[in-house]
Structure 1
């Protein structure tokens, strides 16, 4: 009997080729991921909310009619009442006893910014002689005013370099003043 080995279909003497491992080229993937990272960083930076900086005075220092060390001097305080159609009415000092007659402005024009700049310079240079003691502006929007009107007034305060301003609630007496003008 003849002995044969089972070579399972292989031909004797033929050298087998070495199989190479499959290699994945990740160069394109790195480029795409880098572009995605840059894209998301840029869009997150551009989608940050735009905020308006407000500098608020102390709550316990309110405008008083009589001299009091805990109160603000009424000659430093200007109140801006915002109404519809970009109308702004301003008065100086207390509502009950204003230092000047109320004036009317349009918030979209330069006249309000000029008035704020002139009044701030007057308070800093003439009344106090101290650049730190400037005008304090109370912005009081009515229910008829719109957001654009408020933004125009806040932009005017920034252009006039008013350091101290706040947004407050309008009183019924001030609403009557707006209705009269």
Structure 2
């Protein structure tokens, strides 16, 4: 509220100065109003939910048989090796320690890793796009869309991507690789520790096959 203060009443007369009024604005009620507004927005605004990514991690169960561990078909397996200086290597199927050219080098760009994943997962990507269009046309509900997409990603003919990072790779490299899993509708992928054999593949590739395959234990 505004309050007018009188600075004093001098008698009117010739040569007397005009009486001045001081105006003071009281902001105390604004504090209460601000608290009410804050409370209102806190009650009416929904908190943003953190976005999470589902990651399949290898089991620590020692009772898993070797046959169960190797149940992934070699033709469907793609192994990514993340190395220093944003280097990204990959091989399909089983590793070939005798031929250093079996290890390929690519990048994290759209025409690199993404192109490889889209090629191996072409059928699933096409089906997911069709489901997106059906959802946009209101032919299926959101729940139906999620359920059918999960079935497509878990299909028998979809690839399994194995991600292995060296100690010299960065956290950003891993995040970039995981982003491509989502973009390319890869439903089966795991993050595992890199092995001595994988490190040999990288070292042998960079040395153009100068290392001996007998070095792999």
Q: For the residues of structure 1 that align with 2:161 and 2:43, how far apart are their CA atoms? A: 41
Unaligned runs of 5+ in 2: 1-28, 127-150, 206-217
**Aligned residue pair count:** 143
Is 2:125 aligned against 1:138? no
Q: Any idea what the Cα deviations from partners look like across 1:108-165, whole Å, max 9, x if unmatched?
A: 453110011101237999xxxx951200000001101001111111111211111110
Give the TM-score of the pair, scaled to structure 2: 0.54
Q: Map 1:2-151 onto structure 2 (within 5 A).
A: 29=32, 31-36=34-39, 38=41, 45-46=47-48, 49-56=50-57, 60=64, 61-63=68-70, 71-95=71-95, 101-121=102-122, 132-133=155-156, 134-151=158-175
Q: For the residues of structure 2 that align with 1:152 and 1:40, how far apart are their CA atoms? A: 37
Q: For the residues of structure 2 that align with 1:52 and 1:124, how far apart are their CA atoms? A: 18
The structural deviation recorded for 1:57 is 7.0
Q: For the residues of structure 2 that align with 1:109 and 1:179, how far apart are their CA atoms? A: 26
The structural deviation recorded for 1:101 is 1.9
Is 2:194 aligned against 1:170? yes
Q: For the residues of structure 2 that align with 1:176 and 1:41, how far apart are their CA atoms? A: 58
Q: Which of 179, 182, 186 is the aligned partner of 1:158?
A: 182
Give the TM-score of the pair, scaled to structure 1: 0.63
Q: Which has the higher contact order (CA 8 A, sep 6+)?
A: 2
* RMSD across aligned positions (CA): 3.7
The structural deviation recorded for 1:86 is 1.5
Q: Any idea what the Cα deviations from partners look like across 1:46-72, whole Å, max 9, x if unmatched?
A: 5x6553221457774322xxxxxxx22
Given that residues 113 and 156 in structure 1 are in contact (C-alpha distance below 8 angstroms), is that contact kept between their aligned partners in structure 2? yes
Unaligned runs of 5+ in 1: 1-25, 64-70
Q: For the residues of structure 1 that align with 2:183 and 2:44, how far apart are their CA atoms? A: 32
Q: What corresponds to 1:68 in structure 2?
A: none
Q: For the residues of structure 1 that align with 2:83 and 2:39, how far apart are their CA atoms? A: 47
Secondary structure, aligned partner of 2:89: strand
Secondary structure, aligned partner of 1:95: coil
TM-aligned CA distance change 1:53 to 1:172, over 3 Å: same
Task: Name the one with the larger helix percent.
Answer: 2
